[in-house]
Structure 1
Amino acid sequence: MIHVEVRIDIERPAGELFAYLEDAENNTSWLKGMRSARWTSPRPIAVGSTYEQRSHFLGRDIQTSFEVTRLEPGRLVTIESREGSSFPITVTRQVEPDGEGRSRVTEIVDGDASGFYSLATPLLRRMVKRNIQRDYGTLKRLLEG
């Protein structure tokens, strides 16, 4: 099992930042290795909404279908990979105001490193954390302009 938690402060109002993060179609602009992401259910985003994404990680193409399993509008979204996805994972993104026009994002990732990935769980945990930190650095630069 992999558990990773990362926090970062971004100079953006919480509502604006959350709106950007909850829309999976923005993933290709800030997540390295993300090839595509598209909603497979109608909007607005709600518990039960689904999307598919294709990414490249550790030299492998990963196709994942996600479902929104928890949503507190403007504050928190949890997504879980659906059956048949390449890598079982749960991701929670929480946005909290942290002063005037500033927000703190916390991302929590829990994954089941089975099969191909099970042999390298400690290394995989470090790589996932490093990648999340890098991606949020990209998001920070993108949104703070």
Structure 2
Amino acid sequence: MFTVTESVHIDRPVNEVFDFFTEGRARWDESVISEELTSPPPVGVGSTMHTRMRAVGREVDFDWRVTAYEPGARMAVTSTSGIMATSSDLQFADANGATVVAVRIDAEPTGIMRLAEPMIADSIRSTLATSLARAKRMLESA
């Protein structure tokens, strides 16, 4: 099992940043090809979604369940299917009118993928850092 953490400071109000990040990762996460809510709106604890993404050099599907949802403060999801057990926790904090976004991803490769765990963790870390920088550019240029 490994954990990846990254954060970014975005010069936009916390509620605006929270909405941007939680309305779908396809907007800001460069690894996401598509994402759709698979339960009735609105999003909240227990909601489910399906994501098609690029991971480990190929396109893969994940299903997720929302495990925490606090508007303006936090959203967490846990995979219910996919190539490895994964959870993601996004936390949002006001920073004098700007926002600090902190993301934690926990993943547990199994089988042969365990041998590649360090490379998988580095790839996720790099993609996350790039995606957070992309979100920052998108939000601050709006």
Q: TM-score scaled to structure 2, two decimals?
A: 0.94
Q: Does 1:94 align with 2:124?
A: no
How do 1:50-69 residues align onto structure 2 when only pairs under 5 Å count?
50-69=48-67
After superposition, what is the alpha-carbon deviation per residue over 1:90-138, rounded to whole angstroms, capped at 9, x for unaligned?
A: 00000000112x1000000000111342111122212211111000001
The reply to whether residue 133 of structure 1 matches residue 136 of structure 2 is no
Q: In structure 2, how many angstroms separate the alpha carbons of the residues matched to 1:116 and 1:80?
A: 22
Partner residue in 2 for 1:77? 75
Q: 1:62–1:87: 8 Å Cα contact kept in structure 2?
A: no
Output the CA distance in 2 between the equivalents of 1:143 and 1:9.
Answer: 11
CA contact (8 A) 2:87 2:107 kept: yes
Q: Secondary structure, in 3 states, of the residue corresponding to 1:74?
A: coil
Q: Which residue of 2 aligns with 1:144?
A: 140
Aligned to 1:9: 9
Identity %: 26
Give the CA deviation at 1:68: 0.3
Runs of at least 5 residues in structure 2 that lack an aligned partner in the other structure: none
- Write the distance in 1 (CA, Å) between the matches of 2:112 and 2:19: 35
5 Å-filtered alignment, 1:14-25, equals 14-24=14-24
Q: What secondary structure sits across from 2:27 in the alignment?
A: helix
Task: Note closer, same or farther for the CA distance 1:67–1:43 as it changes in structure 2 (3 Å cut).
Answer: same
Bigger proportion of residues as strand: 2
SS of alignment partner, residue 104 of structure 1: strand
List runs of 5+ in structure 1 lacking aligned partners: none
**Rounded Cα–Cα distance in structure 2 between residues aligned with 1:18 and 1:33:** 19
